[in-house]
Amino acid sequence: MRKIGVPVLLVALAVLGAAGVLSCAAEKRDEKVVFIDLEEVVSEERKRIFSRVLRGELSREEAEERVGRFFVRFGEVLADYEKEGYLVFDAKSVLGGGRDVTGEILEKLSARGEKSE
């Protein structure tokens, strides 16, 4: 019978240990996966701006400016999630798992919009 050398055994244990650590890290990362319904977020903002244009509260130029500011705010909100370690996916790309944060995103966008208006 052939003896396994100590270095081979240590390498095997190191590989198994690393695999365990990576597995735990992957599980933690999976907990930080969230998704949003991008279409809903953009649609809600479009409706809000369009209704203000119809009521005569905004001109076309002001509406275009608000659209630009919306995308800046949206980028800031997504950057906040990224800073917290989240991976944010569009809901249409998610087949399973994760947490839907569409409502949270809409609330944060609304709050940031009220501050800037």
Which range among 22-26, 46-50, 76-80 shows the weakest confidence by mean pLDDT? 22-26
Which residues 6+ apart lie within 8 Å of 109 measured at CB?
A: 41, 45, 70, 73, 74, 77
CB-based contact 38:91 (threshold 8 Å): yes
| Mean pLDDT to the nearest integer, 76-82 | 94
Architecture of domain 32-116: 2-Layer Sandwich (3.30)
Domain ranges of the chain: 1-31, 32-116
**Token pair in block for residue 75:** 């980028």
Read off the pLDDT of residues 103-112 as tens digits, 9 standing for 90 and up: 999 999 988 8
The reported pLDDT for the residue numbered 25 is 46
Q: Which residue has the tokens 């839907």?
A: 100
| Mean pLDDT to the nearest integer, 46-62 | 93
